[in-house]
Structures are given as structure tokens and as C-alpha cells.
Amino acid sequence: MESMVEKTTQTPAVGASRQMLRHTLATLAYRGSRALQGAPESFAAFQEETGRNPLQIVAHMGDLFDWALSCAQGKQKWQTATPKAWPQEVKRFFTALRAFDDYLASDLPLGYPVEKLFQGAVADALTHVGQINLLRRLAGCPIKGENYFVAEITTGRVGEEQAVPVRQF
């Protein structure tokens, strides 16, 4: 995927914007874990007219964070993976998210500005978590609502295992 955005030559310190991006990743992981856990096996192939099924969406989210890491490292590369089984793709998503967060947590330079990293892969993945939630409702296996404002979301906690919900409804 060719870049239409100039690379940055700056070597930003671990500043406030980088920390905010990391907190956003932790929020994505928290919300993503809620959307993905407990889905019945049949959910992976649920299809609502046109568009991607849940398995394809999760595989795409893994692709997004592989790409985000390559951008952060200054060597932007897009690769579309062939989806594997649901558990493998869920694991791949969280593994890719972890690798990206680990890079952001380091003092290594960013190949692109934080804002570009957010508006590309991260914003797209947030949208896809919403899609998964909507598809779960349509498939008859909705998740419980939750007050995310009071949730225990911690920067750096980007794995599938998350804190227990504080206030579900």
C-alpha cells in the first residue's frame, strides 16, 4: 500500500500523544475482548447480506495492526492474511495489538505521526469492534451493555484477558 502521507523524520519522546494512543489501544482491547469472548462457534461465519463476516472482520483487524506496526517502524507494508479459524484469528488480533503497543511503549522513533497511526488502523479497528457488537445482536448472541466510563482500562493491558466488568446492564 503506497503512502500518500510523508514519513516523519522526527524522533518523538514518549509524550502525551503517544501515551494517549496507548490508552486508546487498551480501550480497544477492553472493548474488543467483550465483543469477541463468549461468541458461539457459529458466529464466525454469520453473514448479514453483503460485507465481511465476523471471522473476516477479526482477520482484517489483525492485518490492521500488523500494518500499524510496520508504519510505526517506518516501513509501511500491507498484507491481507487468509483467515484461519476463529480462535486463531482472535489470538492473532490481540498478538498484533500487543506488538504495536510494545513498540509505542518503547523509545524507538515513529515512522509516522501518532495522529496518522490513530486515524488509520486504530480508528478503523474501533469501527470494526462496533460491527462485531452489532453482528452479535443480529446473530442472536448479543453482549451485555456496560458503562465503559467506569471500566478498569489500563494503558498497556492490550491482551484478550481484561478486568472484570464494573457495571454491566
pLDDT per position as a tens digit, 1-41: 444 444 444 444 448 999 999 999 999 999 999 999 999 98
For residue 41, what pLDDT is reported?
86
Q: How far is CA 91 from CA 51, 61, 83, 159, 160, in A?
A: 22, 11, 12, 9, 8
Q: Closest by alpha carbon to 32, among 117, 82, 97?
A: 97
Region 16-150: CATH code: 1.20.120.450
Cα-trace Rg, the chain? 16
Give pLDDT, residue 14.
47
Q: What is the 3-state secondary structure (H, E, C) of the chain?
A: CCCCCCCCCCCCCCCHHHHHHHHHHHHHHHHHHHHHCCCCHHHHHCCCCCCCCHHHHHHHHHHHHHHHHHHHCCCCCCCCCCCCCHHHHHHHHHHHHHHHHHHHHCCCCCCCCHHHHHHHHHHHHHHHHHHHHHHHHHCCCCCCCECHHHCCCCCCCCCCCCCCCCCEC
- All structural domains of the chain with their residue ranges: 16-150
Q: Tens digit of pLDDT for each residue in 62-115?
A: 999 999 999 999 999 999 999 999 999 999 999 999 999 999 999 999 999 999
d(CA 134, CA 132): 5
pTM of the model: 0.89
Residue keyed to cell 517502524: 73
Which of 103, 104, 107, 102 has its CA nearest to residue 11? Answer: 107
For 118-153, the pLDDT digits (tens) are 999 999 999 999 999 999 999 999 999 999 999 999
